[in-house]
Amino acid sequence: MVVALIIACEVGFWVLLALGLGARYLLKWRRTSVFLLLCEPVLELVLFAVTAWDLKNGAEPGWEHGLAALYIGCTVAYGPCTIRRLDGHAAHRLAGGPPPAKPPRHGMARAAHEGRLWLRTLLGAAVACALLQGAVWYVGDQGEVSSLRAFQWTALRAAGIHGLIALTYLVWPKKAPAGTASAEAGGSAPEGARETARPAATKR
């Protein structure tokens, strides 16, 4: 049941996202769009409640409960930025907005970008480990919690490996080809600077 619910939550995430962006940019129903996008966290709450209910009713802690914790952690960490990025693409393609800025590809800007992604992974691992630890305490000494502990180590290993990969971009920064440094610097300008420039471009 838990595995089926994880799949349903993933499908529901993309369905709600598509409906929310369609309501905003195709139908111009902004309030409906906000409501649909705010329903996204409800999916994780339902998954958490069902997982806790499954354990409460005597289910043996297994890999599916660990997978649910990892899924919730990843969604908490990467869900908001995924929604923002796809919202930018939808605004560009459906409402004539400016194209979303691409991630930097070279130098310290790329290293900083990878570092921010690693912080999201670290957040996801922390959320997953906290949920798993709560499950361990809930089951107590009488239950078998080795699978839950194993998923805690999986989350920590994933964060550690991602951290090492992100560190390589800082230690060995990728050099930009000649003539592309200035263009990339413009593409990675702060969001506030881009927002300031948009009205001027509209007036022209």
What are the tens digits of pLDDT across the range 36-57? Answer: 999 999 999 999 999 988 887 8
| Low-confidence residues in the chain, pLDDT < 50 | 182-183, 185-204
Q: How is 152-191 classified by DSSP, letter by letter?
A: HHHHHHHHHHHHHHHHHHHHSPPPPPTT-HHHHHHHT--H
Phi and psi for 185 in degrees, rounded to 5?
A: -60, -40
The DSSP code for 109 is H
- Rounded Cα distance between 51 and 5, Å, is 9
Q: CA 165: distance to chain centroid?
A: 18
Torsion of CA 145, 146, 149, 153, to 10 degrees: -170
Q: Residue 142 has what pLDDT?
A: 67
Tokens at 95, concatenated: 């409402």
Q: Residue 61 has what pLDDT?
A: 84
pTM of the model: 0.82
- Rounded Cα distance between 55 and 134, Å, is 11
Q: Give yes or no for a contact between 20 and 37, defined as CB atoms under 8 angstroms apart.
A: yes
Q: Residue 56 has what pLDDT?
A: 79
- Rounded Cα distance between 191 and 4, Å, is 39
Q: Residue 176 has what pLDDT?
A: 79
- Rounded Cα distance between 125 and 123, Å, is 5
Which residues 6+ apart lie within 8 Å of 131 measured at CB? 48, 69, 72, 73
